[in-house]
Amino acid sequence: MSNSIFVQSDDKFDVIVYYEIVGKKVTLHDIPPKDCQSLKVTFAYPDYATAQRILQLSTKMPSDGGPPVMDFLQMENALLYTLIREWDAKDEKGAPIDVTNENVSKLRVEIARSLTSRVLREIGPLV
């Protein structure tokens, strides 16, 4: 990240999720044990306009005219779909998997939630 008060288009950060899959169970690790797998994801650092867009996508207006409600699941989606720039995901044959909204939506829940929590730790609160 630059030392400017303005976010630059190349301001990015990496998040690495370490995991093991045994059967259908995913185990996440903060410190990678021997022979675990990893997913490295590069995220864009959001500027003010992007943060506002993420919040807007995450806010629902109740039909009864009440105050706006933050939908945290929508916020997780908006963070991932908006900020992911690249990753090192590969298919079973070792070929790179493109970053697309469809592929992001296919991530295992444990991996996606780990990514969003780490992104929020990196960028801080949006509100």
Concatenating the DSSP letter of every residue in 12-78 gives EEEEEEEEEEETTEEEEESSPPTT-EEEEEEEEPP-HHHHHHHHHHHEE--TTS---EE-HHHHHHH
Q: Is residue 6 part of a domain?
A: no
User: What percentage of the chain exceeds 90 in pLDDT?
Assistant: 82
pLDDT in tens, 11-36: 999 999 999 999 989 999 999 988 89
Q: Is residue 1 part of a domain?
A: no
Q: What is the DSSP letter of 97?
A: P
Q: Is residue 90 part of a domain?
A: yes
Question: Phi/psi at 58 (nearest 5 deg)?
Answer: -100, 0
User: What percentage of the chain exceeds 70 in pLDDT?
Assistant: 98
* Mean pLDDT, residues 26-47: 94
Q: Does the structure show a pLDDT above 90 at 2?
A: no
Q: Is residue 65 part of a domain?
A: yes
Q: 90 is in which domain, residue-wise?
A: 12-123
Q: Is residue 97 part of a domain?
A: yes
Look at the chain and report how many structural domains it folds into.
1
Q: Is residue 2 part of a domain?
A: no
Instruction: For residue 116, count other CB atoms closer than 10 A to its CB.
Output: 20
Q: Is residue 83 part of a domain?
A: yes
